[in-house]
Amino acid sequence: MRDLSALPNLNVALIQTTLAWHDRRANLEHFDTLLEQARGADLIILPEMFTTGFSMESETLAEPEKGPASKWLKDQAAKLEAVITGSVIVQAADGSHRNRLLWARPDGEVLHYDKRHLFRMAGEHNHYTPGDQQVLFELKGWRIRPLICYDLRFPAWSRDAEDTDLLLYTANWPGARRHHWNRLLPARAIENLCYVAAVNRIGTDGKGFAYTGDSQVLDFQGETLLSAGEADGVFTVCLSAADLAAYRTRFPANLDADRFEFIY
């Protein structure tokens, strides 16, 4: 069993901002101006579909697996010596379109997670293929599980209390359901005995939907460590592995968790 208390602290940066509708170049240039403020972070999180906004025009907007966004993330990760992550529209090798989170490491490797739960109320399930694999990334010994937006509503997909130290959600979550976002995120932290970092966008998209941000970081008891509100900018927080280890020792509810398996 690993000694979680021996791990170094993890410095996390959340970038909450507006997105230019269907304009990759404008978005990447905009993030270029913000990323320097995140220097010193170990992990930098961008919103869902950060190059386009939340769009169903997958056939028009999809880029190859090793396309411009992937290259840009690799370059930025190397420059800042940090992992940078966020989701983009990708055409996979099998020809399917995916809402894919890219996890770019400073060493040049890019890993990914494909969004499992597609938001049918916007028709996402008609334009994208869902992922069927949970993913666990490691950074400085921390075990980090990435998820995308609508995944937040499905607790079983987030569930893995024994292995996950940080749940990461990247989103385009509209202001109309702000209340749900702010209730579900603490629930995921509490039930999994882990930190939660969630990044949303602000502004209005090309369909007229307004986004109110509320990017935040929560501890293992669902307490707020960072809250961005509706502000535009870069927000940083330091997570303590020792605090997480101490809490799990005092309150090892994970030992009584139900066991289950997924049926696809």
Which residues have CB under 8 Å from 120's CB, separation 6+?
none
Residue 148's H or E segment, with its range, is strand 142-148
Tell me the backbone φ, ψ of residue 104, rounded to 5 degrees.
Answer: -95, 125
pLDDT at 161: 61
State the pLDDT confidence band at 261, using cuts at 50, 70 and 90.
Answer: confident
Catalytic residue among 63, 74, 124, 149: 149
In a domain, 261, yes or no: no
Domain containing residue 46: 8-256
pLDDT at 262: 85
Q: What is the CATH number of the domain that holds 223?
A: 3.60.110.10
The DSSP result for 104-141, as a single string, is E-TTS-EEEEE-SS--GGGTHHHH-PPP-----EEETT
In a domain, 176, yes or no: yes
Residue 85's H or E segment, with its range, is strand 83-91
Number of domains in the chain: 1
DSSP-based three-state secondary structure for 210:
strand
In a domain, 144, yes or no: yes
State the pLDDT confidence band at 260, using cuts at 50, 70 and 90.
Answer: confident
Is the pLDDT reported for residue 2 higher than 90? no
Catalytic residue among 63, 115, 124, 194: 115
Output the furthest CA–CA distance in the chain (Å, rounded).
Answer: 52
Per residue in 67-105, pLDDT tens?
999 999 999 999 999 999 999 999 999 999 999 999 999
Q: Average pLDDT in the 163-192 region? A: 97
> Which residue bears the tokens 């893995």?
160
In a domain, 214, yes or no: yes
DSSP-based three-state secondary structure for 223:
coil
Which residues have CB under 8 Å from 91's CB, separation 6+?
62, 63, 64, 65, 97, 98
Mean of per-residue pLDDT scores for the chain: 96
DSSP-based three-state secondary structure for 169:
strand
Q: Is 71 a catalytic residue?
A: no
In a domain, 178, yes or no: yes
Which of 6-20, 113-127, 154-168, 224-238 shows the lowest mean pLDDT across its residues?
A: 154-168
In a domain, 3, yes or no: no
Q: Is 140 a catalytic residue?
A: no
Catalytic residue among 48, 63, 74, 194: 48
pLDDT at 1: 67
In a domain, 173, yes or no: yes
Q: Is 109 a catalytic residue?
A: no
The DSSP bridge partners found for residue 100 are 88, 114
Burial call 92-121: b when 16+ CB within 10 Å, e when fewer: beeeebbbbbbbbbbeeebebbbbbbbbee
Q: How far apart are CA 73 and CA 259, in angstroms?
A: 37
What's the pTM? Answer: 0.97
Q: How far is CA 224 from the centre of its chain?
A: 17
% pLDDT > 70, the chain: 99
In a domain, 149, yes or no: yes
pLDDT at 148: 98
Torsion, CA 76, CA 72, CA 139, CA 155, rounded to 10:
130
Is the pLDDT reported for residue 217 higher than 70? yes
Is the pLDDT reported for residue 35 higher than 70? yes
Per residue in 107-149, pLDDT tens?
999 999 999 999 999 999 999 999 999 999 999 999 999 999 9
Q: Average pLDDT in the 146-161 region? A: 93
State the pLDDT confidence band at 264, using cuts at 50, 70 and 90.
Answer: confident
Is the pLDDT reported for residue 191 higher than 80? yes
Q: How far apart are CA 224 and CA 139, in angstroms?
A: 22
